[in-house]
Amino acid sequence: MSVPAADAAGRTKLGFGNLLTNDIVDGAADRWRTGSYASSRVWGPTWTGAAPSGFGDLLELRFNGEIITPENLRFPAPGDRHYAGALSLGLHTHMQRGAMEYAIGGDLVFVGPQTGLDSFQTELHDLLNVSEPSDRVLDAQIGNAIRPTLVVEMGRPIRMGAQSTLRPFVEGRAGVETLARVGFDWTFGSLGQGELLVRDPVAGQRYRVITQDWTGYSFTVGADFAYVDSSVFLPDDQGPALDNTRERVRVGVMWQGESGLSSFAGITYLGEEFEGQDEGQFVGSIKVRLGF
């Protein structure tokens, strides 16, 4: 990637990345963590293959949107989770000090009908001629709230060979969901090395934001385990009780061609999130970037 010189303010746009996640791979109708979209734009003075050491030198503007539903959009079973929509906008900084990588920032998360995501899903399903959320489901959805959320991730890439990197990490979130997480990502292949990757909050897949001129494939495997203290999406006074443990297991493949066209596809298993949820679910994530 050719990075332009910094502007007079000392920053220039260094990259953009996004990821779309949906439960369509699960073989069932929309349910639970049914759909989300993550998007990141990054500014900084330059990119040399690693984040700078200074706090605030490299800034990421992060946008996320998510729809959560009960298993049945028309007639939810007693004890199923309630419908919820969430939109967030945040500012994060990325740093590297020694062998450690840090991502620290905050998001302002808007929850409930105020997001308009219930209307968006209804209109989209009407257009696709599939079942829409019933009035019963929407009337019982999680109410309006605005939750500031702090997010901190620390990871350490460990080279396991010329074409293999293991990256254990820990993460903490406090706000719309308050949790502590530990896990790893293992990448096989050179694509992704010397680049900035950002973690999608739902699937845990990492998507490329600052890229290099690699060509070829890389494969990723990852897993993590979280202790969840609280969640706006599973409140104590509405719906089923929160399950305090949460697991994710994921695989993915990145590809980039000579023309700059690139893509990512991944599948993630999400473990149970609430008491009474009888199984986990699979979600698929995809990103396509055109070469112009």
pLDDT confidence of residue 113: 97
pLDDT confidence of residue 125: 87
Q: Distance between terminal CA atoms of the chain?
A: 13
pLDDT confidence of residue 226: 98
Identify the bridge partners of residue 218 per DSSP, sorted by sequence position: 254
Torsional sign, CA 102, 210, 108, 240: negative
> What is the domain partition of the chain in residue ranges?
12-289
pLDDT confidence of residue 9: 54
- Residues lower than pLDDT 50 in the chain: 1-8, 292
pLDDT confidence of residue 291: 55
pLDDT confidence of residue 28: 65
Q: What is each CA distance from 277 to 25, 100, 195, 270, in whole angstroms?
A: 19, 37, 38, 12
pLDDT confidence of residue 191: 84
d(CA 51, CA 94): 6
pLDDT confidence of residue 5: 42
Q: Which residues of 68-92 are buried (b: 16+ CB within 10 A; e: fewer)?
A: bbbbbbeebeeebbbbbbbbbebeb
The 10s digit of each residue's pLDDT in 94-132 is 999 999 999 999 999 999 999 999 999 999 988 888 889
Please determine, looking at this structure, whether the domain spanning 12-289 carries the CATH number 3.30.420.40.
Answer: no
CA angle 63, 48, 98 (to 5 degrees): 90
Q: Sort residue 236 into left (φ over 0), alpha (ψ -120 to 50) or beta.
A: alpha
Share of the chain above pLDDT 70, in %: 96
pLDDT confidence of residue 292: 45
pLDDT confidence of residue 251: 98
d(CA 12, CA 58): 10
pLDDT confidence of residue 1: 44
CB 149 within 8 A of CB 107: yes
